[in-house]
Chains A and B, each alone.
Chain A
Amino acid sequence: MSHIKIAVVLSVAIVLQLLLRDVWRPLAYIDFPLVVVVYIALQRDAWKALLVGTLAGLIVDAGSGGLVGAGGFSKTLTAYIIYFAATRVNLENPLLRIPVLAAGSLLDSAIYVFWHRVLGYPPTVPFVQTMSYKLIATTVVGTLALYLLDAIVAERSAQKRQFATRRRVARRSTGPLRRR
């Protein structure tokens, strides 16, 4: 995945995170930047996953009432743990991504709230309830978003598209009449 593609996908995720809360408040429970972080971590590119985790977390923190750096910390650690798991267990199966997303969301929330409580800034919303809503929303929407990212962004899908185009072109040049 090229740097430009990552930058575009991350920007879209952050803009969506900023926008959707205004459209309908429950949409704020979907953590789009986390979905991008999980996707890149599943690609087994440690450096990109860690950097995107930190950047995504810090940018969201900048507009949030929480501590700057808490989101960066939680997303970086989540990215590494998922990367670590992906290098040891085969997580290529799309179905396996669902528990990975759920675990990522759970871990991210737990680390984020942990640091706020330790540093004396407890969140203003009930922890278990908010974490559960976030887990459900991020997992459901994230699973679909990962499919979308696979179809649009992934190198393999680009190769498949190129191959399909070449095959179509080849078929056109050798139509049914010419084959005879």
Chain B
Amino acid sequence: MAFVRTQKEIRQRAPIWLVTLLVANLIIMAVDARDADGRQKILRVWTQTFTSPLQSTSSKVSGATSGFFQQIWNFRSTARENEQLKERLSQVETELHTARQAVAESERLKALLNLNEQSEIKNVPARVIARDPSVWFNTITINRGSSAGVAVNMPVVSGGGSIVGRVITVSPWASQVMLITDEKAGAGAVVGQLGQSGALGSIRGRADLGVALIEMRYVSGLEKVENGDYVMTTGQDGIYPPGLNIGQVVEVKNGTATQAHQILIQPGAQLDHLEEVAVLLYRPPQRSVPEASPQTPERTRR
């Protein structure tokens, strides 16, 4: 009898619990959405501070797991061989895989170091510790945060110097990066060399395409743009320094005198296979704001 009453109580109280939890989630969502882009999101800093150790650990485990599956795959491919040969082959392939990873990693780190030496802008090398666990967004988490000097809106580049995106949230030991292919990401861009080309415009990600491509808009239809042309940053967006590689033009629908070109760009950075990146400790030059004269309001009134 007591069991029946408990079940009844649970049924009666379930809608109350539901409403309470939904309202709590709604408040959290509203607080998170309230903080506009470009500002530090307090709620996200806290959540990231707690989740970054888990993400870092899972990143290490996933490396080991993929190595393990690779090993099994290798093992299966040589299944018809005799047992001793199979074991030896598996061992050799595992070692080779590890060695290749080490060589590739050292090359990437060398590229980052070269970038550090060549660039006038200081940068912080970082490792990608997590990708977005939901399928709806495409952010990455890196293992450098405010303790390493990283701040919101700092640009992130790959080892080759191509832009990856910008920092959107910073916690003490980790940061979240919005990729350049995100619909909300944007940058001032020019087709060809800055100062030599007049094909200026702005870029933004295209979600509807289903592939990692960037759209370039507002390029005058009178400018000459061809497939294979390189696209660079102009530095006018207040986030990215000028002269960084964005990618290459892969599709152009030519515009007219009154209509802009429709340009699609393949990002220069391999965004699906990022392992190491560098955060540029870049602060855009502050634009001087003309001081408002005290007579201006009076003039307006008149």
Chain A residues at the B interface, C-beta cutoff of 8 Å: 15, 17-23, 25, 28-29, 45-47, 50-51, 53-54, 57-73, 76-77, 80, 83, 87, 112-113, 115-116, 119-126, 129-130, 133-134
Would you list 9 pairs from A and B whose C-beta atoms are within 8 A, ordered by A residue? A18-B55, A18-B58, A46-B10, A50-B18, A51-B21, A64-B133, A64-B137, A87-B11, A119-B33
The answer on a CB contact under 8 Å between A67 and B48 is no
Number of interface residues of B (CB under 8 A): 56
Residue of A nearest to B51 (CB): A62
The answer on a CB contact under 8 Å between B137 and A19 is no
Q: Do A68 and B134 contact each other (CB < 8 Å), given the known contacts A22-B59, A46-B10, A50-B18?
A: no
Q: In the complex, what distance in Å separates the CA atom of A22 from the CA atom of B132?
A: 10
Which of B225-261 touch A at CB < 8 Å? Answer: none
Which of B133-160 touch A at CB < 8 Å? Answer: 133-139, 141
The answer on a CB contact under 8 Å between A69 and B32 is yes
Q: Counting CB contacts under 8 A, is B130 at the interface?
A: yes
Chain B residues at the A interface, C-beta cutoff of 8 Å: 10-11, 13-14, 17-18, 21-22, 24-30, 32-33, 43-44, 47-48, 50-51, 54-55, 58-59, 61-63, 65-66, 69, 130-139, 141, 168, 176, 178, 181-184, 205, 207-208, 210, 272
Q: In the complex, what distance in Å separates the CA atom of A22 from the CA atom of B55?
A: 11
Q: In the complex, what distance in Å separates the CA atom of A116 from the CA atom of B182?
A: 14
Q: In the complex, what distance in Å separates the CA atom of A19 from the CA atom of B61?
A: 8
Q: Do A69 and B25 contact each other (CB < 8 Å), given the known contacts A22-B62, A50-B18?
A: yes
The answer on a CB contact under 8 Å between A68 and B69 is no
